[in-house]
Amino acid sequence: MLDAALVGMGRWGQTLVDSVQGRNGTGIRFVAGATRTPGRARAWATEKGLDLLPDLDAVLADPRVKAVVLATPHKQHAEQVIAAARAGKHVFVEKPFTLSKASAEAAVAACREAGVVMALGHNRRFLPAVLEMKRLLAEGVLGTLLHVEGQISGANADNWKAGMWRADPHESPLGGMGAMGIHMIDAMINLAGPIERVSVISQAQVLTNGLDDTTAMLCRFHGGPTGLFATLASAPRVWRLALFGSQGRVEQRDLETLVFHPRQGEGWERRFDSADIERAELEAFAAAVAGGPAYPLPLEDAIHGVSVFETMIHANASGGPALVP
pLDDT at residue 92, as a whole number: 98
141 CA to centre of own chain: 27
**137 Cβ neighbours under 8 A, 6+ residues apart:** 145, 191, 243, 245
Tens digit of pLDDT for each residue in 226-278? 999 999 999 999 999 999 999 999 999 999 999 999 999 999 999 999 999 99
Mean pLDDT of 143-151: 98
- Supply the pTM of this predicted model: 0.95
| DSSP per-residue letters across 56-72 | HHHHHH-TT--EEEE-S
Residue ranges and CATH numbers for the domains of the chain are: 2-123 (3.40.50.720), 124-323 (3.30.360.10)
Average pLDDT, the chain: 96
Tens digit of pLDDT for each residue in 34-85? 999 999 999 999 999 999 999 999 999 999 999 999 999 999 999 999 999 9
